[in-house]
Amino acid sequence: MTSKSVTRVDLCEAVYRQAGLSRSKSSAMVELVLKEITASLEKGETVKLASFGSFIVRTKNQRFGRNPKTGTPARIPSRRVIVFKSSAILKQQINAKTSGTKMPAGAERVSWAP
């Protein structure tokens, strides 16, 4: 397993190289997409990206836990969390890369490597 993470800079560079936009427009494009995703999630909406997956906002109820250091009971307030559910196509792409199997017909491999 590699420890490389894809950053905003990597995404901007990929858009710059593959879309032929200027670096500033590529950066603005990536920021716009991320802001739209964030705004939708803040409203509690599900964000579905075809062939990639869905970001889902779920509400966790209040519960009681324990402070692991002291063992004293602690109230954990209710909160919203974001869950990512990958699409079947993304799962197949990831598994095909690691297992050496062929991609299904019609599936396109997406590369984000800079």
Average of pLDDT values for 8-18?
93
Residue extents of the structural domains in the chain: 7-43, 44-104
One-letter identity of residue 9: V
Tell me the pLDDT tens digit for each residue of 62-108: 999 999 999 999 999 999 999 999 999 999 999 986 655 555 555 55
Superfamily of domain 44-104: IHF-like DNA-binding proteins (4.10.520.10)
Q: Which residues contact 16 (CB under 8 A, 6 or more apart)?
A: 22, 23, 26
Tell me the pLDDT tens digit for each residue of 25-71: 999 999 999 999 999 999 999 999 999 999 999 999 999 999 999 99
* pTM for this prediction: 0.72
Q: Compute the distance between CA of residue 91 and CA of residue 98 in angstroms, rounded to an integer.
A: 11
